[in-house]
Structure 1
Amino acid sequence: MKQSSFFSQWLILGIALLYLGGSVAFNLNRERQRVDSSERERLLTQARVVRENTAHNLTAIKQVLMQLRLQKKMAGQELNEHLATLTDAMPGVRTVAILDAKGVIRAANRPELVGGNFSQRDYFSGPRQGHDADTVYVSRPFRSSLGVFALGVSMAIIGPHGEFSGVVTATLDPQYFFNLMDSVRYTPDMRTGLVHWDGDIFMMAPAQTAIAGKNLNQPSAFFTQHKGSDRDANVYVGKVYSTGDERMVALSTIRSPELKLDKPLVVTASRDVAEIFSAWRSDLVKQGGMAALIALLSILVLYAFQRRQRESGRQLEHAGETLRAKQVEIQESEEKYRAIVETTDTGYVILDGNGRVVDANAEYIRLSGYASLEQILGHNPVEWTAQHDQERNREAIRKCLETGAIRNFEIEYSDPAGQATAVEINATVLRRKGERQIVALCRDVSERKRAQEEIRHLAYHDALTNLPNRRMMLERLSLAIVQAKRYQRSLAIMFIDLDHFKEINDTLGHDVGDELLSAVAKRLSACVRGGDTVSRQGGDEFVVVLTEIAQVDDATLVAEKIVKVMREPVPVREHVLQITISIGIAIYPLESTDDPIELMKKADIAMYKAKKGGRDGYCVYQ
């Protein structure tokens, strides 16, 4: 046999091994990118959940602080008790206090703090120096006089002549935020944290006592890079400054024009890099070892084959048989590559030039809703596409054949039972076996879609009662005011508060109180029309928006109905509770304002008049 024939054989083997190695490397790299991308997205999602919940709490706290600045009537023990009631209604707050211009506490939900001078605290010096009535000042984490590592939010009290008159402040409850951050951890190695904009660590779950209060505002820290990026969310991978270990870290900044924080807070969510890629490294060892073994065996076989050829030209026929054996080995290598494709969690499908299936792996068969490859061979994927997406899918296949590729195309597949699955498709046109074919990778994104929907729902609904929260209520109230103004109609807003609800919580427990609030929410919803809005503001406070009323009596009739319904006994577990409510009503446009917040304040004032009038009734703002 000529030397050139030996060289050709080695060249063929080299190409085959390069193909095998490249295929393994490509799939391993693609899997690593998928793991990396999936984990980044998941960490950002968990950080976003903490950010939305924390922002919601801060918004509620800001509203309370703004109301306290307007408080003029109460003082002394009565004011302290009022602050205690407000604190009980806000699960994320530990302490609420009012300080005078010298930093002396004049009222607090904890009486032992009254009279103390706290002018040296950030939560007092910040508002005093900033002198802005609309800004919420966030202090650096500190150890309070009660021995708790805490963080304060405060607002300045500005006098009638623009002078600084004091501060209203709320200290965040560390246990509440620890529970919030701990609830989003989905693996033991995951950590979540809350960091002040100046870099001080306020909270870490699980608890990390060694780094409590540590400052992350260092040149090499991911926190510093995030601050300098001008982006609300980032993901970094590398050695973290606080602990020195390798982690993937998602950072998400809490800030909004509505809150107007002087210094935002940053949510962190991280995982150990080694844990993230542990399964992938195991696959790397297995597939790399298999590829190396195949390469070694192939080289040894070809070497022995050529040696025999050199020994005797009479073995030429045998050389042909060895070549055929080599072709069998190559076929086996392709089958092993096929096995790799079958083990991936990404769907793999090949379509011919007419859009019909010619090959697919097990994951794609699952996505199609069928049980075997034979059931989908020769069929067009449009057949198992949800009806509302069928035309889009036809157009996508046609566009792919025209342009050569489609990227990040999302549709819904529907199995024979009607169960829908959200699928993301990336496809490329290749020439295989003499014809143009579409090679597509299909990924199940149903879980991601559900997570996005859940986040959207949490942003607009109260977690306990599933009623619209303050954010949704304000949006609906603003829209109702615009429509009422355009069509010269009236509307009413009711501010509702349960009478003596704190006594129920204190005597029967918060679990009974929560079930009572859920029952009240259902009764309120049953008392209004479908187009009206019933929302929970927090604690035992509810707001009802009545659209399209003809006269004030329409609102008072609804209020009388609600008061009467609420007097009926409420069975909660083994208890039968007798409750009453107080309602404040404000009418648009009688109150000469189209500001939703102002209307709510007037309804709130009317509600307090109803309470002073003996409770168990309503009052229209005059």
Structure 2
Amino acid sequence: MSTQGHKPHRRHEYLAPRLALAAGLLIAGCFIGYSMYQQHGRIGQRESERLAIQANVINENLGRQLDGIYLALQGIRKELPGWKGKSGTELANRHLRALADAMPGVRTIMIIDAAGSITFCNREQVIGQNVRYREYFQAPLKGQKLSALYISPPFKTILGNFVISIGLIIPGPNGEFNGVVSAALDPEYFRILLGSVLYAPDMWAALAHGDGRQFLMVPERKGMAGLDLNRPGSFFTSHRESGLEANVMTGRVYATGDERMMALRTIRSGTVAMDKPLVVAVGRNMSALYADWRRESFGKGALFGILALALTSALLFYQHHQRNFEITSARYLEELLRAKETAQEANEAKGRLLTTVAHEFRTPLSLLTSSTDILDRYDERLSRDERIRQHDHIRSAAQQMSGLVDSVLAFNLLDTHIHSHKAVEIDIGQFCLGIAEEARIACCSSHDFSVSIADNCGTARLDKTLLRRVVENLLTNAFRYTPTGGSVSFHVSRENGRLQLVISDSGIGIPEECQKRIFEAFYRCNNVEARRGVGLGLSIVQEALSQLGGAISIDSSAGKGTSMRVEIPIVERLDQKEQLPCTRS
């Protein structure tokens, strides 16, 4: 009975659970991946809405601040005609100081005449300075719009700070340009305002002029104040070109170089026209924003991977043991059937033997009995020749019975596989060459086969049958497990009273984990694939070597070929016995 015919069916049974497990893991993995993708999108959407709200908070505050500054500057412009003479100057400066102290976010309030000289200011140390070439004077001078607020780009003061001035034109009697009333914004106030919307350590907020020049950034970074953001591809340029009041964008920030999600908002006064708006930006670092998501994704991915590995390992472990169980069961069943057939044959043979022995013993026993009776009863009456004849009958019956006993013993020896082998004088070189030539004819039509016989091999008394079994099986294995075009070599030498045989090949090799079991009957390595064989060759070699008193060693690794080294002690002389009884089970 063979299990070969069941392999395709069994493979199909093993493949179905694996495919089912793979499909289940794929579905679970897709579900987890999709849920994490959805979560990533929700995080981005939620954060963009939150950043937009924070940017709008600054927009609302600054819008009201601009409206308040406009009303204050407009009030100063109306009171300006009453500030004449020395007393008027003192009254104006005192009034400007009180107004600047009362208005949050305003650092300096000054009045500049048509020539660009500061005539009144809450900071008396700057009165008299000419600021004709400053942008906060030039913009109103060129704009000539009486009702517009002029927002100057950030400029650096003598103290090293960047400030923005907001100006309103002072008209002359005929509506001509007669100067500017200006308020410089206090950077510290706006740092507090920008910092109030930051809710995460990785956030920053920035305020820029409408032409792209940055006013300040919170938290403060060196080199950011006064930086020109009006560059192709920058968030500022993309926001301005969109034409929208508010945008949320993601990408690399021009100013800092890091990846961010940015909410940008254009700030304008709700009551008066402005020559240039302000732009506020509030952003989060993308890496920090999705840090928790990445950790959760990694955790779920690792957990899924462990689960998938555990399930796969459990299935393979179960199938491996199931397959081994089925193979073992099939082998046991096959052995039982074979043993049953052998036992039946043995019983039949023994039955025939017993029948034959009983039949064959009957004749000599009858002859023995009758001759003995004749001698007992008629001995005195018998002639000498007659007595000799009866004794011959007895002797013949005994010889017949002895022959039958020898036949039974011989049958038993054959039945238990006990044989007697003869050690004879052989020419080692010629004997090995003969076997090699037989192997060359039978096996090596597609292999490179080389044979080398040392000159000192000479002759020795060895059992030819056992030695042939060793060489033939090793050569057969070398050819069988060497792919087409490979090489096989056979070297024979004699050293220190021992015959040495080395058979090497460039074949598939023997994995290290298999080398301890290759001499077991019926054992085959897992890399032999579809090559024919039942796993008895090396067990026969080992049994033969044990009867010859020899030993075998292996030098092999998977994919790198095999070298089998055999050593057999040589009997130099055998004077007392011609027969070497050996037992093979």
What is the TM-score of this pair, normalised by structure 1? Answer: 0.49
Query: Cα distance 1:2–1:256, how it changes in 2: closer, same or farther (>3 A)?
Result: farther
Find the counterpart in structure 2 of residue 297 from structure 1.
310
The CA deviation string for residues 411-435 of structure 1, in whole angstroms up to 9 with x for no partner, is xxxxxxxxxxxxxxxxxxxxxxxxx
Report what 2:141 is aligned to.
128
Q: What corresponds to 1:84 in structure 2?
A: 97
User: C-alpha offsets along residues 180-219 of structure 1, whole Å, 9 cap, x if unaligned?
Assistant: 1122222222111111111111111111122221111111
CA distance in 2, matches of 1:300, 1:147: 69
Residues 245-256 of structure 1: pairs in structure 2 closer than 5 A: 245-256=258-269
Deviation, structure 1 residue 266: 0.9
CA distance in structure 1 between the partners assigned to 2:158 and 2:178 by the alignment: 23
Cα deviation digits, residues 565-605 of structure 1 (max 9, x gap)? xxxxxxxxxxxxxxxxxxxxxxxxxxxxxxxxxxxxxxxxx
Please tell me the root mean square deviation across aligned C-alpha atoms, in Å. 2.1
**Offset at 1:158?**
2.5
Paired amino acid for 1:154: G
Shift of 1:145: 4.2
Is the 1:195–1:266 contact (alpha carbons within 8 Å) kept by the matching residues of 2?
Answer: yes
Partner of 1:283 in structure 2?
A: 296
Determine if the alignment matches structure 1 residue 49 to structure 2 residue 62: no
Cα displacement (A) at 1:9: 2.2
Once residues 38 and 102 of structure 2 are traced to their aligned partners in structure 1, the CA distance between those partners, rounded to angstroms, is 50
Cα 1:311–1:209, aligned 2, differ >3 Å: closer, same or farther?
closer
Per mean C-alpha deviation after superposition, the further-off stretch among 257-266 and 216-225 is 257-266
Amino acid at match of 1:38: R
Pick the aligned partner of 2:177 from 164, 167, 176.
164
- Unaligned regions of 5+ residues in structure 2, if any? 1-8, 330-585
Alpha carbons 1:94, 1:173 under 8 Å: kept? yes
**1:95: how far off?**
0.6
1:104 aligns with 2:112: no
Post-superposition shift, 1:308?
4.3
Which amino acid in the other structure matches residue 75 of structure 2?
A: Q
2:368 alignment counterpart: none
Distance in 2, Cα, partners of 1:45 & 1:176: 20
Per-residue CA deviations over 1:238-262 (Å, capped at 9, x if unaligned) read 2211111222221111024523211
User: What do the CA deviations read for 1:380-435 (whole angstroms, capped 9, x no partner)?
Assistant: xxxxxxxxxxxxxxxxxxxxxxxxxxxxxxxxxxxxxxxxxxxxxxxxxxxxxxxx
Counterpart in the other structure of 1:230: 243
Which residue pairs with 1:151 in the alignment?
164
Secondary structure, in 3 states, of the residue corresponding to 1:262? coil
Q: How far apart, CA to CA, are the structure 2 residues paired with 1:235 and 1:315?
A: 69
Q: For residues 55 and 258 of structure 1, what CA distance do their matches in structure 2 show?
A: 9
Question: Residue 65 in 1 paired to residue 98 in 2?
Answer: no
- State the partner residue of 1:464: none
Taking the aligned partners of 2:186 and 2:11, their CA distance within structure 1 comes to 82
Residue of structure 1 in register with 2:27 after alignment: 19
CA distance in 2, matches of 1:158, 1:7: 93
The aligned length equals 316
SS at match of 1:249: strand
Which residue number in structure 1 is paired with residue 433 of structure 2? none
Residue 30 (structure 1) aligned to one of 29, 35, 38: 38
SS at match of 1:263: coil
Give the CA deviation at 1:313.
5.2
CA distance in 2, matches of 1:187, 1:308: 56
**2:16 partner letter:** S
Distance in 2 (CA, whole Å) between partners of 1:245 and 1:212 is: 18
Match of 2:83 in 1: 74
What is the aligned partner in structure 2 of residue 542 from structure 1?
none
Q: Which is further off, 159-168 or 198-207?
A: 159-168
Q: 2:281 aligns with which of 268, 271, 278?
A: 268
Task: Write the letter of the residue equivalent to 1:237.
Answer: T
2:38 maps to a residue whose letter is R
Alignment check: 8 A CA contact 2:235 2:249 kept? yes
Once the 2 structures are TM-superposed, how far is the Cα of residue 47 of structure 1 from its aligned partner?
A: 1.6
**1:446 counterpart residue number:** none
Say which one has the larger Rg.
2
Q: Is the 8 A contact 2:151 2:164 kept in 1?
A: yes
Does structure 1 retain, via aligned residues, the 8 Å contact 2:14–2:319?
yes
Give the Å deviation of 1:280: 1.2
Q: Secondary structure at the match of 2:233?
A: coil
2:214 to 179, 185, 201: 201
Matches of 2:191 and 2:320, distance apart in 1: 72
Question: Could you tell me which amino acid in structure 2 is paired with residue 74 of structure 1?
Answer: W
Equivalent AA in structure 2 for residue 171 of structure 1: A
Q: Within 2, Cα distance between the matches of 1:157 and 1:73? A: 14
- Look up the equivalent residue of 2:175 and give its one-letter code: G
Aligned with 1:93 (options 99, 106, 114) = 106
Aligned residue in 1 for 2:202: 189
One-letter amino acid matched to 1:132: K
Q: Secondary structure at the residue paired with 1:8?
A: helix
Q: Following TM superposition, by how much is the alpha carbon of 1:289 offset from its aligned partner in structure 2, in angstroms?
A: 0.7
Q: Secondary structure at the match of 2:168?
A: strand
- Once the 2 structures are TM-superposed, how far is the Cα of residue 6 of structure 1 from its aligned partner? 3.6
Letter of the 1:58 counterpart: L
Q: Quick one: distance in 2 between partners of 1:243 and 1:283?
A: 28
- Give 2:572's aligned residue: none
- 3-state SS of paired residue (1:294): helix
**Matched position secondary structure for 1:70:** helix
Distance 2:305 2:315 in 1: 15
Opposite residue 156 of structure 2, the aligned amino acid is R
Letter of the aligned partner of 1:150 in structure 2? V
Aligned sequence identity (%):
40
Determine the structure 2 residue equivalent to 1:521: none
Q: In structure 2, what is the Cα distance between the partners aligned to 1:285 and 1:147?
A: 48
Q: Determine the C-alpha separation between the residues in 1 that align with 2:237 and 2:132.
A: 30
Q: Distance in 2 between matches of 1:148 and 1:111?
A: 19
